[in-house]
Amino acid sequence: MTFFIQLLVTGIVVGSIYGLVALGFVLIYRASDALNLANGEFVLIGAYISLTIMTAYNLPFILAVLITLVFSAVLGLVVERIILRPLQNAPVISVIMATIGLSSVLGGAVHMIWGTQPKSFPAVFPATPVEFSGIIIAPVYLYSFIIVMVLLIIFSLFFKFSKMGIAMRAVADDQEAALSMGINIKTVYAMTWAIAAVVAAVGGILLGNINGVSGSMATIGLTVLPVVILGGLDSILGAILGGFIIGIIQNLAGGYLDPLVGGGLKEVVPFIIIVIILMIKPYGLFGKGGIERV
């Protein structure tokens, strides 16, 4: 039972990070109807930038994180302005292909700058494990979960009450109606990419503190895709809940099934879930089915 709870707790923490990264996926999809397949590289760059600032310049973790978030926001704005804005009226497939190309370019740049060897963050969180009723939890997991939950609450309040958040929701619901109400669509697109890059960077920093940083971290972009599809491509709540579900199932599969099959099932389980969900609920748990009149 203790082993199960241990796996469950770890799955919840990792799932919360999945949900945070998936939030960026959903925001971009709601704004442009396209998937950002370079999301994993945003995660990777955020982790490496923060690590470099801490190790090369000996800056405190908090300051390194703030600088990384500013850098990531600027990166998102630059990508939107230079690569995506010229494709604003292009077919969706063109935007998706552009993000695939962007993924390759960013991935190559990361390997050129930081190499391929795994790197570890300096000790940031306390090393002494926390024990609850016999369940031992590493502080890095506990703090990561708290940080993610605080950020998710902040973003929820931002989308519900702030002027920009309301504008983003309006654009997601009906772009033409939002435009007729005086909302600047280009500004909303730019903010969407900036926020997506920021949440990806936060996910990269937290995962880097948990597992270290290497080029393989970019695969989270593919791992989060089942999260988004499970929750519904256009649902923020679905992305968050989908993150928890995928994280828990993936971790349980790694603990119980991987030893039986020789390993590797943990990485495959999210995509098995995709197939099942698409067969049962093609629009995900909270996605909205499109209605097309002909």
Please tell me the distance from the alpha carbon of residue 101 to that of residue 50, in angstroms, as a whole number.
Answer: 24
**Tell me: domain 2-127+140-280, CATH 2.60.40, correct?**
no
pLDDT of residue 129: 85
User: What is the percent of the chain where pLDDT is above 70?
Assistant: 97
Helix axes 265-280, 220-231, angle to 10 degrees: 30
204, 44 Cβ separation under 8 angstroms:
yes
The alpha carbon dihedral of 35, 41, 44, 50 has a sign of negative
The predicted model gives 82-99 an average pLDDT of 87
Location of structure tokens 């397949």: 37
How does residue 137 score in pLDDT terms, banded at 50, 70 and 90?
confident
Say how many CA atoms lie within 13 Å of 240 toward its Cβ: 12
Give the residue-averaged pLDDT of 114-130. 88
**How much is the pLDDT for 156?**
86
Q: What is the pLDDT of residues 18-39, one digit of tens each?
A: 999 999 888 888 877 788 899 9
pLDDT band at 125 (very low <50, low <70, confident <90, very high): confident
- Cα dihedral value 259, 262, 267, 273, nearest 10: -70
pLDDT value at residue 292: 44
> Long-range CB contacts (< 8 A, 24+ apart) of 96-105?
96/34, 96/35, 96/37, 99/34, 99/35, 99/36, 99/37, 99/38, 100/37, 100/38, 102/38, 102/41, 103/37, 103/38, 103/40, 103/41, 103/218, 103/221
Q: Are 166 and 188 in contact (CB under 8 A)?
A: no
The pLDDT > 90 percentage for the chain reads: 44
Residue 48 has pLDDT above 80, yes or no: yes
Q: Which long-range contacts (CB under 8 A, 24 or more apart) does 211-215 make?
A: 212/118, 212/119, 212/120, 212/121, 213/44, 213/47, 213/48, 213/51, 213/118, 213/119, 213/120, 213/121, 214/116, 214/117, 214/118, 214/119, 215/44, 215/107, 215/110, 215/111, 215/116
Q: Is pLDDT of 294 > 50?
A: no
- Domain limits, the chain: 2-127+140-280
- Asked whether residue 113 carries a pLDDT value surpassing 90, the answer given is yes
